[in-house]
Structure 1
């Protein structure tokens, strides 16, 4: 049974990815930070889930040891866990420091640690040709964001990790990133916001989580793509 590790499976894209891989008969190992009804549902379907606060270094290390002790191989590692803070407000220096530290931890330091820790598990065994690491980045990594400066910078760091790990882990571990813009709205987004957001792209619509899942599926099937950032932005870069 192929095995995938997905960080941040409690909601939105992470949840959809976990459900997709369960339906494909993968062994799904996932992390979550907050208890939700979706977590119990995934566990009922067979997912092995760990409650991890990645801002706590010890919890990160405990998760790494648990995965390494219960698995001999991994087929895919997807870094989806994410957070964001609005640094467009007037804050004191200590608050700015904490925001930047948090963003770099969740989007760069943790993927860095997990990639290195799981390298031996991801190294192809027997008749395997490739395994995969996929970083979930963001459209703003290449554009910047005046409202979320630390967030954008940390996602840019994640994209740079994609390039470096692709080189280090070649030729048998493919390392790529997916950088979506708008995939799906939140439940509390009002109609005026939705219209404004859709108009930012040439295609004037949201992409959907299925679009990201299709891209993951395509990357897993590829025999010739590594070190690439795949943009899902509906032509937003041309507006």
Structure 2
């Protein structure tokens, strides 16, 4: 329905289907339950927030309608060949065998096929809780056994955006791992200085988490360890 070279509405009109990652500009879906939410583009860019999308961003994002290079990413790696690709087009930007994005009311679904592996990545927000949920389904469409590794990557924001003194603020981000829930926990602790007029140097009043239903083989909260010095999300060194 309403076909264009980039996409169309589904027959029932409940979804918009994008048939490739390279649209004229980022085509985004905003999902929120009124408290927590996220924005995601057809290439995988975007960020998450709680309460307010500017003053309380959970993950880091910079607006760039040409590069669209900030997001929350899911990588796949074939342990036999060493090849790496991403469930959405970004950040690796590998040429997929198939690629489709479905936007619905309250969710986004990325379906892609690379190296004989089909991935379906669904993102949504719990209706009554400030929780963003991902459902990841991986199917082996090749004719041989495969061993894959999955990795996630994003940068914590934890507060006001844009954070002009980003490297300074990173000094106050605290992360830890809670084994019982398979969760990385994150918060930001700043110093309190008496001021009659108030100031922004206050602790972030929340604890964010990134969790998995499957026990992870490893984790790392260091950007340098994951991307490497002068590395990037498109070419991580870790």
- TM-score of the two chains, using structure 2 as the length reference: 0.28
Larger Rg: 2
* TM-score normalised per structure 1: 0.28
Between Structure 1 and Structure 2, the one with more strand by share is 2
Q: Which structure: greater helix fraction?
A: 1
The structure with higher relative contact order (CA 8 Å, sep 6+) is: 1
